[in-house]
Structure 1
């Protein structure tokens, strides 16, 4: 072969720069925990935005910090493996919703009602959406992430609840004498707070769904999620949340206290004839 032969034809074909690596694709479903390969930011998917510069997802880390990331080829890590995230599209509705209600063919979601349900934690919001999402959309109920009960007073002042403009709040660790219970008293007739008794929404998921008999005990003062992962042999809270989220497919997978709390909030914001006293 002469030197001329070696350089004949398409000299760029086969060059490594022309063969981009391919990665598994994964829908960016709300609640999915991923890590940005660019800078290591780790968080749960909490939103999607389409801009002039392309499609972005919004991630929130365990400290409540949010950031936008462009959906790039292989731009994220899921359970340590590079993946390409795509926009999540909810699947077609089955005959029955996850909360157990019958889905009716041809029924469209109502226009968003003025009332709202606020959910204290990002993981709580993901589980509520997974179980009750269809029912809430049919009723026109908007679910919003509260980012902690410390923000409740300010958010209520901005929202200004009143007749026909109710707010239902789902809180963690709502037991007699707790700080959370004290923070949610005396809020007026158009605001109702319900919740579950567990320190974190993870513990409201039935442990047998995750393959063990009961949630481990974590001493007071130790970070609960970190302690749980250490005792169950999970690498970190990111892996823990993925395991918990995948274990939930319907209301039968969570403690009845959570089911009752959410159902009461839905009734409160959709049936104006019912008062808080009727539901608590």
Structure 2
């Protein structure tokens, strides 16, 4: 039998407007919309708050601008929309780099200290390495330990006990041919072997000189006459007090404060530190 009266006229969305129901539309700058009540057509040029109410500003093709309350009452391509605030997509953040130039690992915790270790000659050396490479060393779990001189280097390494899997990297000050330091290094390397110990050095009298002189306001590091205390001579050149141990410590803090990244250091120093880190963090040295 056929249905004489057809379908239920009240079934479905019988209240639906002829143009459809409004959907949310972000008020993105440049979007062309029509305000229903006035018929004003224009491109969105901004959203702002006026008298506690958010309004959208529309510029027509003649350059005239009118403001309307943000919300319903607009058409886009003939379809009703409810304008809502536009949130501009954030540009992807560039990877953060550490002071050493490597990519920072977000949220990473320091590892438990590895067996392999890096030795440096003094506290200042250790502080400089920590400032530039500290983040990398904590990720790798590598400890930097001051030696306070290389005269007893062999004894210190023997006490540490390097092996094929427990490596020691050593950074030596003023490692140039014919010096006491070069003889000590040669003897120590023969004793322990290159698979367990790597000893490298920089040519500077003191690690202070590993900082580029322009970073501390000098054209070049001054030559200090023999017989004169080197650090006191540097302090004099910088115009800083140097009559006590505390004064010298403050001079070092001044120099260290000028170091931001590896770029503030001489390559002949930073390259040696990188070499040691590679040596003690290689798979054989973990």
What range is the shorter-chain TM-score in? Answer: 0.5 to 0.7
Provide TM-score, normalisation by structure 2.
0.61
TM-score (norm 1): 0.62
Aligned to 1:246: 257
Residue 109 of structure 1 corresponds to 110
Work out the CA distance in 2 between the residues paired with 1:105 and 1:246.
25
1:168 matched to which residue of 2? 169
Matched with 1:188 is 193
Instruction: Work out whether 1:264 is the aligned partner of 2:270.
Output: no
Structure 2: unaligned runs, 5 residues or longer: 1-94, 243-247
Structure 1 position 155, deviation (Å) = 1.1
Q: Which has the higher mean CA deviation after the structures are superposed, 130-139 or 240-249?
A: 240-249
Indicate yes or no: 2:123 matched with 1:122. yes
Q: Tell whether 2:223 aligns with 1:217.
A: yes
Q: Contact 2:165 / 2:284 at 8 angstroms: preserved in 1?
A: no
Which sections of structure 1, spanning at least 5 residues, go unmatched?
1-93, 275-280
Backbone CA RMSD of aligned residues: 1.6
Match of 1:44 in 2: none
The aligned runs of 1:142-157 (5 Å cut-off) are 142-157=143-158
After superposition, give the CA deviation of every residue in 1:120-170 in whole Å (9 maximum; x if it has no partner): 111010000000000001011111111111231211111111111100001
- CA–CA distance in structure 1, aligned partners of residues 110 and 250 of structure 2: 34
| Structure label with greater radius of gyration | 2
Q: Shift of residue 238 of structure 1?
A: 2.9
Q: Verify: 1:100 aligned to 2:94, yes or no.
A: no
Inter-partner Cα distance in structure 2 for 1:266 and 1:158: 21
Q: Structure 2: how far apart are the matches of 1:220 and 1:183?
A: 23
